[in-house]
Amino acid sequence: MKTRSPFLNSISEYMLLHQYSLRTVDTYLTWITAYIHFHKKRHPASMGDNEVEQYLEYLALKSNVAPRTQATALNALSFLYKHIIKNELSLNLNFARSKKQSKLPIVMTPDEVSQLMKHLNKRYYLIAGLMYGSGLRVMEAVQLRVQDIDFDFKCIRVWNGKGNKHRIVTLAVELIPMLRNQITQVDEYLQLDLKNELFSGVWMPHSLAKKYPSANKSLAWQYLFPSHKLSGDPETGEIRRHHFHHTCIRKAVKKAVQSAGLTKLITPHTFRHSFATHLLQNGADIRTVQTQLGHSDIKTTQIYTHVLQQGANGVVSPLSKLT
């Protein structure tokens, strides 16, 4: 448990009360803390536009962070001043934008995906299959509920993905038997938990918890990938069964990469990159891929066409023409 100041604790409590994910809470608090330390521990209420501009410029020119990283820092500070300090930042902040070039995504070949999956711990095989088969982000995968799997229409409903957007993605039919078995295991956990007087049901969004007070103990609302242990809710202290922690997935993938002898820098997000690239390779329309990935801007999706165009699929090397 991290030791934080009363001010940072109050921010954490506000965010949890307003249904921000634990990951977002941690990310925002990290940037807010760094901002405060950059200005020699001055209270944010005594600072404003100028100090934020100085910090963001420092990130771009001195720390050489990527544009997305600088944007995340800005989002955290905008949240701070809007919701906590109650004094919004200017819409026309003047600071140097990060120009660090974004890296092209690392993509596995289908054979590499197959090799990696064979070396994955069985506990994580299905979740990896969903990341590659449906293009899910790791947090989207671990936060799936039983009812998010639609066997009739062979799709998955993703709620509150990145940017709090909802979308429907494809479901590989090959995973259906494993998913049915997984749901059976979830039900076994639930029946065991219901016998525990301290069990308060699965965590649910506050508005739904009030509207459906008994739903938190129904199978439909349980996490598809439940933790093996009960734990206290960080907000209320109530005993619940949470989902897999994303770091467990990262460790399992890293171990499988080593066991498979793969040399690429592969992370759980590489499954999503590979999903998008392989869809395009197989003739899928870029708009379809954009929808599956949940990208607001097609320019984000086009990075995968760059991967294909810069390789052998797009440009034939002159060396190949030598006789």
Out of 28, 132, 223, 304, pick the active-site residue: 304
Alpha helix positions (H), the chain? 6-17, 22-38, 49-61, 67-79, 110-118, 122-134, 138-142, 176-193, 206-211, 246-260, 268-281, 286-293, 298-301, 303-309
The amino acid sitting at 89 is L
B/e letters for 215-251, b = 16+ CB within 10 Å, e = fewer, are ebeeeebbbbbbbeebeeeeeeeebbbbbbebebbee
* H or E element at residue 168: strand 167-170
**Is 304 assigned a catalytic role?**
yes
Out of 145, 273, 278, 295, pick the active-site residue: 295
Asked whether the beta carbons of 161 and 167 are under 8 A apart, the reply is: yes
Give the CB-side neighbour count of residue 31, counting CA atoms within 13 A.
22
User: N- to C-terminal Cα distance for the chain?
Assistant: 65
How far, in Å, are 7, 165, 304 from residue 34 at the CA level?
14, 28, 33
With vertex at residue 145, the alpha carbon angle to CA 143 and CA 148, rounded to the nearest 5 degrees, is 115
**Is 43 assigned a catalytic role?**
no
Asked whether the beta carbons of 59 and 95 are under 8 A apart, the reply is: no
**Is 206 assigned a catalytic role?**
no
Out of 100, 167, 255, 269, pick the active-site residue: 269
Closest CA to 261 of 118, 145, 134: 118
Out of 4, 162, 211, 245, pick the active-site residue: 162
Q: How many CB atoms lie within 10 A of CB 163?
A: 8
**Is 242 assigned a catalytic role?**
no
Out of 132, 137, 145, 241, pick the active-site residue: 137
Asked whether the beta carbons of 168 and 158 are under 8 A apart, the reply is: yes
Out of 145, 243, 272, 278, pick the active-site residue: 272
Residues annotated as catalytic are 137, 162, 269, 272, 295, 304
